[in-house]
Structure 1
Amino acid sequence: MNIFQVKEKYKFTIITINKNNFDGLIKTIDSIRNQTYKNFQLVVVDGGSTDGSYDFIKSQLNSINCIIHEPDSGIYDAQNKGIKQALGEYIIFLNAGDSFSGPDVLESFVQHNYVGDVVYGNVNLVYPDQVVERIYPDQITFDYWLNSVLCHQVVFFKKDLFPVFGLFDLKLKFCSDHKMFY
């Protein structure tokens, strides 16, 4: 007798990584929970927090599809763990402290029927005394990558890219995302 496990088909997987950022985690989970489009998988990777974050994560089981709670070797290791659990067509990294710009971000993506291996938008950088909107060019050239990078929270990566190009390089502690974009 064969037993098949049916995995739900999600449009998006949102990966949230956290380590001892309780307040930022609450902000991020609220932002995700408030999205009007609900066909997403939420993966939370917690690097062994001791500030109450893990208790909060466990209290959110109705919103979180996958929890990984264990030490990691940094942001890229945590993101790789999330990628390995992703079931969505697109992956978004919305880490503790990040938030969507509004409740309709995912809905807008679907309504506009965006296609592409990497789809990105603009970002609002929130500082204590101001909000700065970073507007990215319509076309990203190689020259752009030499001097800049996209903020991870505005990038929708096609999940199918990771088996082809690999995961984040753990040997690079600060710029593995730059290497990934290259």
Structure 2
Amino acid sequence: MKITIITVVYNAEKHLRDCIESVLAQNYQDLEYILIDGNSSDGTYQIAQEYEDRISILVSEPDNGMYDALNKGIALATGEVIGILNADDILATEDVVSEIVKKFQELNVDAVYGDLNYVAQDNVTVVHRKWRSAPARPRDLALGWMPAHPTLYIKSTLFDKFGGYKLSYGSAADYELMLRYFYKHQINTAYLPKLMVNMRNGGMSNQSTKHRYAAFLNDYAALKQNQVPIPLFALFLKKIRKIKQFF
């Protein structure tokens, strides 16, 4: 089973090397790594070029943001399964991909997801929050539950069948895709109870008050689009569910 991991990056030279090396350190061999750079103006592309002989596809060109770049990567991918690793994040252990493959092969599912730690920007051993997932039921999405997107690995045929990331949802494009796949189309999924990703604090929807309000509106629109009943209730529970990540 061939696995594709996509990293999209723009002006993220500080942590990119850690991200790349965590992928290249995986003990699973049939692994395609695609890196899409949005024409960075710092040293990002130069760092990526240092690994060019081990990166399957390296692209540097302007794009319309993170999710446009992800869609580009998905279009280029040749793996049976596609996962995403943000440029500031790292795969937690060398066996993450091999354990994902085992789960796919054991259960013949459409998608696999697992656990994630939110860690300090400059020290990934300092854990701020722990996102521990659970087996998914479609109704849970209407109750504020969602998998950790950076841990989600999806069969590539689903992108052909149900579409990729919709740019109109801004920072909620990943949330909308998961609602579409998990809730609307009720794909077959499996939870891997393993720490898969160390994610540095930050992100598109986790910035200023203005960004948070925009994220709220985008989340609401994503829920409405996928016909989730009582979207405001789902958003309230989505916030409440985050509390246990601190304990």
TM-score bracket relative to the smaller structure? 0.7 to 0.9
Given the two structures, how large is their TM-score scaled by the length of structure 2?
A: 0.66
**Distance of 1:155 and 1:138 partners within structure 2:** 13
Unmatched tracts of structure 2, length 5 or more: 180-247
Segments of 4+ in structure 1 off by > 4 A? none
For residues 39-95 of structure 1, give each alpha carbon's deviation from its aligned partner in whole angstroms, at most 9, with x where no partner exists.
Answer: 111110001111111111112112111112111111110100100001001101101
Matched to 2:162, the amino acid is F
Answer 1 or 2: higher relative contact order, Cα 8 Å, separation at least 6.
1
- How far off is 1:176 after superposition? 1.2
Count of paired positions = 173
Query: Are 1:94 and 1:152, in contact at CA under 8 Å, matched by a contact in 2?
Result: no
**Distance of 1:110 and 1:118 partners within structure 2:** 11
Alignment match of 1:169 (pick from 155, 166, 169):
166
1:1-182 to 2 correspondences below 5 Å: 11-112=2-103, 113-114=105-106, 115-127=108-120, 129-182=126-179
State the secondary structure of the residue aligned to 1:17: strand
Given the two structures, how large is their TM-score scaled by the length of structure 1?
A: 0.88
Matched to 2:20, the amino acid is I
State the secondary structure of the residue aligned to 1:88: coil
- How far off is 1:107 after superposition? 1.6
Which residue of structure 2 aligns with residue 5 of structure 1? none
State the secondary structure of the residue aligned to 2:175: helix
* Structure 1 or 2: more helix by fraction: 2
Aligned residues: percent identity?
A: 32
Matched to 1:40, the amino acid is L
More moved, 55-64 vs 74-83: 55-64
After superposition, the Cα gap between the structure-2 partners of 1:93 and 1:130, relative to the gap in structure 1 and judged at 3 Å, is same
- How far off is 1:131 after superposition? 4.1
Unmatched tracts of structure 1, length 5 or more: 1-9
**Distance of 2:131 and 2:39 partners within structure 1:** 32
- How far off is 1:132 after superposition? 2.7
State the secondary structure of the residue aligned to 2:28: coil
